[in-house]
Chains A and B, each alone.
Chain A
Amino acid sequence: MRKITRRRFLFYLIGVAASLSWVKYFIENIRGGSSVSEFNDTRTGATPPARVEPEKEAMFYEKAGGGKVRCRLCFRECLVPEGERGFCRNRQNTGGRLYTLVYSRPSAVNIDPVEKEPQHHFLPGTEMLCFGTAGCNFRCRHCHNWHLSQRSIEEVGSYMKITPQAAVNLAVEKNIPTVSFTYNDPISFYEYVYDTARIARRKGVRVLFHSNGSFRPDPLRELLKYTDAVTIDIKGFSEKAYDNSEARLDPVLESLKIIGLSGVWLELVNLIIPGLNDSADEIRRMCRWIKDNLGPEIPLHFSRFSPAYRLTHLPRTPVSTLEEAFRIASEEGLEYVSIGNLPGHRRNSTFCPACGNKLIERVHFEVRSNRIRNGKCPGCGHKIPGVWE
C-alpha cells in the first residue's frame, strides 16, 4: 500500500472539500434554487441579503410553539420558524408573528381588457385595473409572469406604494369598473386583495381575481364575500399535471365547490400543454367533474400553450388537440366552451347553447360585437348566465 504523506493527505483533503462545495453549489442551482421544502429555500439563489421590512400582520395563521407559526392560508399550511418565510416567499415569521411582506407593494399595475383574464361573461368589452406583485404558492414551470411570481420581493426589486384605498381611488379616477388581482396568485398577497376588495365593494367597484384555487376554505369564503368574479386555473386533472407546479389537485377541487356554492361568478381556464395534460381521458374526466359539481353553465376556456419560462422545448398545442378538447367538453354537456390564445379561431367567440347563434364575436381579447340583450340571446331568448351590466 502506498505511503500517504502529509502533503498528499492535505492535497486530497483540499480537493475533496473543494469538490463537495462545488457539487453543493451546483445542486442548489440546478433547479433555480427553489425547493419543495415546507419552509426552507424560499429565496432563490439570486435573493440579495437586504430584506423588506414586514409591516402588516398576516391573516389566517396560528402560533405553533417554539417560536414557529403555522400559516393557514393555502393547502401547504407552511410551518414557519422564526426569521423564515413560507413557500410563497411573501409571509415571514418575525418575533413569533406572521407578517405579509407585500402589503401595499404592488410591482405591476396595468389596465387590461377583461377578456385577458379570461372572463367572457363578465362585463364584456370593459377594462380592469390589474394588480400583481412578487411571490406565488405554486412553481409552474410554464408561468408567463415568472419574473414576478417566481421571485421574492427583494429579487423583483422595484414596487410601488399603493394602499388599498389608493388602489380603489385609481380605478374610480380612471373610470374603470373593475379591479383585478392577477399576474401572480392573489393567495400570496391575500391581505392586500382582501382590504382592497372591501373598499372597492363600498365604492361600487367590481372585484375580480385570477387564482390557482389552492386556498384553504375559510380564507376563500371570507374573500368571496367581497368578490364579484373569479377565474380559476385548472392545471390539469391529474397529480402529474400538478407536479409541474409542485402542487396538488384536491385543494383546487374543494375551492371550486366552495366558489360554485357562493354565487360569485366563476369561469375556468385550462392551459393544455402537450405531453403533460392533453390526454383525452384526462380532459373528459375534468369536464365531467365540472358538470357534475359546478353545472353545465360554467364557462371553460381551453388555452393554447406556447413555450415560456422553463418549458422552452415543447411545441405549441396543436389546434387539433384544442378542438378535440372542445368536442369532449361539448359531449359532456358543458355549454360555454371557448378556445383561447388562437386568434381568429371560431371558438374565440361565445355562442348560444340553445340556437347556436353567435352572441359575442371575439378575436383574441377584442370584443368586436356583442348581441346579448338583458342577459338573453336575441335570437331564441335563451338566458345566458353572466354579469352583463
Chain B
Amino acid sequence: MKNKPAFAVAVTGFSGIAAQVILLRELLVTYSGNEMTIGLILSAWLIAEASGAFSAGRRLERSPRKLGYFIALTLLFSVILPVSVYYSRFIRTAVGAAPGEGLGLAAVAVSSLILVFPAGFLHGALFPAGCGLYSRFRVKAAEENSRQDIISRVYVMEIAGTVSGGVLVTYLLIPYMNSFEAALAVIMLNITALLILAGSRLPFSVSVRRVVFSALLVLVFFPSLKLMRGLNEKSAAFRWPGQNMVYYGDSVYGNLAVTETGGEFTFYSDGVPVISVPFPDTVEIEDFIHLPLLMHPDPGKVLVISGGAGGVINEILRHGVKKIDYAEQDPLVIEKVKEFSAEPGPGELDREPVKLHYRDGRMVVRETERLYDAVFIGFSLPSTLQINRFFTVEFFRQAGKILREDGVLVIRLPGSLSYLSEEMRDLNAALLGSLENVFEYVRVFPGDGLNIFTASRSPDSVLVSARKSRERLDRIEGVKVMSPEYIRYRHREDRAEDFYRSVRGLSAELNRDFSPIGVYLSQRYINSKFSPGTNRFLDFFTGYSPERAYIPGALLIAVFGAAGYFSKKPLDTAVTFCIGSTGFASMIFDLTLLFAFQAVYGYVYYWAGMLIAFFMGGAASGALLARKKIPVAGAFGNLAFLEAGVIIFAAGLYLVLKIPVDDLLSGPAASALIHACFIIAAFCAGGLTGAEFTLASDKFPAGGRGVIRRAGVLYGADLTGGWVGGFLGGAVLFPLLGLPGTLLVAAVLKAMSFLFLLYCGAVNNYRGSAS
C-alpha cells in the first residue's frame, strides 16, 4: 500500500462513525430516548471530540513522536470502545437510578457525556494526530506553505472513511452484529491499519510481514470474538435482573428484548416493556378497543397501526370484524411474538381476517384503497418525531380520507381520572385541537392512565349513548371488564365534563409534521416525572418574545465588536467563528433533512443512511473544490461568498418546507423527484460545509501557532458548533420552533458570522494599512 497514512486516517473516519452509531444505539436502549436524547448523546460526542482535538493539537505541534502518538491514540480508542459499550448497560445504576427507573434529560445529558467522553476525546485527538502523521510521512519540505494543505487532505480522507463507514455500519455491522462484535470489527480494522503503517519499520521482508501480521490478526480475532459475545450476554442480562432473558437483539429499527418469568413473556422495545402475554393489561386494552367499537353500528374493516400484537387484535376479533389490516414496521417484533410468546400472542396474528403489513403505518394509510370503519393508533405518547407523525393534522387528514363516513379514528394520550396535571392538560389540549381541526365530532373518554380520543365525520359512531353501547354488548363474547355497569361507569358525563373544563381555553397550537409541538409537550410531560427543573429551563425559551431580544442583541453586538477589535488576529478569530457557526448550521441542516424525511416518509432507515452519506460526499466534494480551485489571494472573498451561500441555503430550505408535500406525493414520479430533492439538498449542505472548512484551513495562514495546532482549533470549532446545534436543536429548537423556525435561527446566526467576518476583515485591513 503506497499511501499508508491515508488508509490509517480513513480508518479513523470509519471508526468514528461506527463508534457513534454503536454507542448511540446502546444509549437509546438505556435511556429509552427520543430525538432530544439523540441530540444530547451526539452533542456529548461532539464536545468530547472537540476537547480531544483542541488538546492534542497543542501537544502534537512540537512533538517529534507523531507516529507513536497516532498509534497510542488509536490503540487506546480501540480498547475504550467496547469498555464504553459495556458500561452503557450499567450507567443508569451508576447515576443512582433504581432498577427499572427511567432518567430525566438532565441525568441523560450528564451520564451520556461521562460515558462517551473517553472514546470521543480520543477520536477527536486522532484528527490532529492524523495531520501530524501525514506531515511526517508525506511532506518532506519543512516550509509552512507546503504543509498548509495537510489539514484539508486529512479532512477529505477522514470524510471518505466516514462515508464508507456509514454505509458499512448501516448495511453490515448493525443488521448482522451485536454492539460488541461491531466494536471488535472496529478494533481489527484499526490494528490492521496500524500494522500497515508501522510494519515497514520492521526488518523483515514484505512477504514475511504479511504472514506474521495475518497470523497475529487471527490470533487476536477468535479469542476476542468469544470474549465479546460473553460480554454481550452478561451485560445485556444486567438490564433485566432476576428475569430469564430468552431473546436480545437489534433490528434496524431498534432493540428488542424478551424475558420470561413463570411462563409469562415481556417484550421490551428499546428498554421499555410494550407487550405482556398471556396476561396483558386487560382494562387498558378493553377500554381502547371496545369503548369505540361498541359505539360503531357494524365495524367490518379495521386498520391498526402499531401495538396490535399482545391482545389488541384479539379484542378486535371479538366483534366479528371481516378484515383487520395491521401495520407494524419492525418484522422482528412479530417474528418474536410468534416464536416466544403465549396466547393471545401468536394465535391472534394467524387468524384469517388479519393481514400483516411490515411497513410504516403512514405509508399504508397513504397507499391503501380500502375504506375502514375504524383506525386505531397503538402509540400513546407522541414523544419522538417518528411517533408524532401519527398525531398530526396532516396525518388526521390522511386518515380521514380512508375512513367511511361513519368511520372512527382512535388515539390515546396520558390521562388521569383523579387530576390532570398542567403538562397532561397542555398535551391533551393540543391533540384535541388538532383532531377537531379535521373531524367535526370528537369525543374523549378520560381514563386512569390513558385518555381515549374518538373522532369521526359522523355523530353516529362517536356521540353514542351508554345505553346503545350496552345493547351492542351482545355481539361480543369473552370480555372480562366490559359489562353494562362498566360501560355506564365509563360513559359518565361528569368525567368528560371535568376533562373539557380542564383543557378548554388553553391556547393550543396545532400539532403538525414540521411543527411538532406534540414532541415538545410530550417531553415536558416526561420531564415533569423525571426532572421537573428541566421544564423551567425550557420555559425560559417559550417565554421568549422578540421585544426581549433588544438587550441581549445589543450585548451580543458589543461582545463581538470587542472580540474583533481587541483580538491580536481578528481574521483568525472571525474565521474560527465562521467555522464554528457553520458547524452549528450544518448540524441543523443535517437534522432538518433527516427529520423532514422522517416526517414525510417514515423511518426509512436506508434512506436516512443515504442522506448522511450524500451529506458527507458533498463535504468531500466541497473540500476538494476549495483545495484546487480557489487561490489563496481570493480566500477572504470566497469565504464571505460561502457564508452568504449558507444563509441563502437556510432561507431556501425554509421556503421549501412551506410547500405542502403531502399533496404532491401521489405517484411514483413525484415521489422520485422529492427523494432526489432531499439528496441534492444533503449534498449541497455538505458541500458548503466542506468547502468552508478547507478554505479556512488551507488558504488562511496558520501563522506562528503551527499547522497541527490550527487543525485542532478549526476542527474543534467545527465540532463545538455541531455540538451546540445537536444539543440546542434536538432538545429545544426543533420541538419548540419546528423545522422552519429552527432554520431561521441558523440563518440569523450565519448572518451574524458573515457580518463579523466583514468587520474583522475591515479591522485587519485597517491595521495593515496603519502599519
Partner of A183, one of B243, B273, B418, B532: B418
Interface code A295-308, partner B: CB below 8 Å = 1, 0 otherwise? 00000000000111
Q: A45-B533, A147-B424 are in contact. Are A319 and B279 (CB under 8 A)?
A: yes
Chain-A contact segment, one of B95-103, B248-256, B540-548: B95-103
Interface code B517-539, partner A: CB below 8 Å = 1, 0 otherwise? 00000000000111111111000
Q: A274-B242, A311-B98 are in contact. Are A316 and B273 (CB under 8 A)?
A: yes
Collect the chain B residues with CB atoms within 8 Å of residue A244's CB: 98
Q: Is the pair A147, B421 in contact by a Cβ cutoff of 8 Å?
A: yes
Collect the chain B residues with CB atoms within 8 Å of residue A31's CB: 96, 107
- Within the complex, what minimum Cβ distance (angstroms) separates A183 from chain B? 5
- What size tier do the contact residues of chain B reach? 35 or more
- Within the complex, what minimum Cβ distance (angstroms) separates B419 from chain A? 4
A33 on interface, CB distance cutoff 8 Å: yes
Q: A32-B529, A309-B529, A319-B262 are in contact. Are A145 and B535 (CB under 8 A)?
A: no
A25 to B532, CA, bound (A): 12
Collect the chain A residues with CB atoms within 8 Å of residue B423's CB: 147
B259 on interface, CB distance cutoff 8 Å: yes
Q: Is the pair B106, A29 in contact by a Cβ cutoff of 8 Å?
A: yes
Collect the chain B residues with CB atoms within 8 Å of residue A276's CB: 99
- Within the complex, what minimum Cβ distance (angstroms) separates B473 from chain A? 14
A290 on interface, CB distance cutoff 8 Å: no
Interface code A177-209, partner B: CB below 8 Å = 1, 0 otherwise? 000000100000000000000000000000000
- Within the complex, what minimum Cβ distance (angstroms) separates B469 from chain A? 16
Collect the chain A residues with CB atoms within 8 Å of residue B273's CB: 307, 313-316
Partner of B535, one of A46, A183, A318: A46
A141 on interface, CB distance cutoff 8 Å: yes
Collect the chain A residues with CB atoms within 8 Å of residue B107's CB: 26, 29-31
Q: A132-B419, A307-B273, A312-B272 are in contact. Are A363 and B104 (CB under 8 A)?
A: no
Residue from the set B102, B419, B529 with the largest chain A CB neighbour count within 10 Å? B419
- Within the complex, what minimum Cβ distance (angstroms) separates B644 from chain A? 32
Collect the chain A residues with CB atoms within 8 Å of residue B241's CB: 275
| Residues of A261-313 contacting chain B, CB below 8 A | 274-276, 306-313
Collect the chain A residues with CB atoms within 8 Å of residue B233's CB: none
B281 on interface, CB distance cutoff 8 Å: yes
Interface code A241-252, partner B: CB below 8 Å = 1, 0 otherwise? 000100000000
Q: Is the pair A306, B281 in contact by a Cβ cutoff of 8 Å?
A: yes
Interface code B551-579, partner A: CB below 8 Å = 1, 0 otherwise? 00000000000000000000000000000
Collect the chain B residues with CB atoms within 8 Å of residue A46's CB: 528, 532-533, 535-536
| Residues of B99-144 contacting chain A, CB below 8 A | 99-104, 106-107, 109-110
Q: A32-B104, A147-B421, A313-B102 are in contact. Are A343 and B283 (CB under 8 A)?
A: yes
Q: Is the pair A275, B242 in contact by a Cβ cutoff of 8 Å?
A: yes
Q: What is the chain A residue whose CB lies nearest that of B111?
A: A30
Q: Is the pair A320, B96 in contact by a Cβ cutoff of 8 Å?
A: no
Partner of B101, one of A33, A148, A313, A342: A313
Chain-A contact segment, one of B209-217, B330-338, B481-489: B481-489
A63 to B735, CA, bound (A): 50
Q: Which 3 pairs from chain A and chain B are nearest by CB?
A: A45-B533, A320-B262, A46-B532
- Return 21 A-B CB contacts under 8 Å, by A number: A23-B110, A26-B106, A27-B110, A31-B107, A32-B532, A45-B531, A46-B533, A46-B535, A144-B448, A307-B100, A308-B449, A312-B32, A312-B102, A313-B32, A315-B276, A316-B273, A316-B276, A320-B263, A343-B480, A344-B481, A363-B480
**A46-B536, A110-B417, A312-B101 provided; 15 other pairs, C-beta below 8 A?**
A26-B107, A29-B107, A45-B535, A112-B417, A144-B449, A145-B416, A147-B424, A307-B100, A310-B98, A312-B32, A312-B102, A315-B259, A318-B279, A343-B481, A363-B483
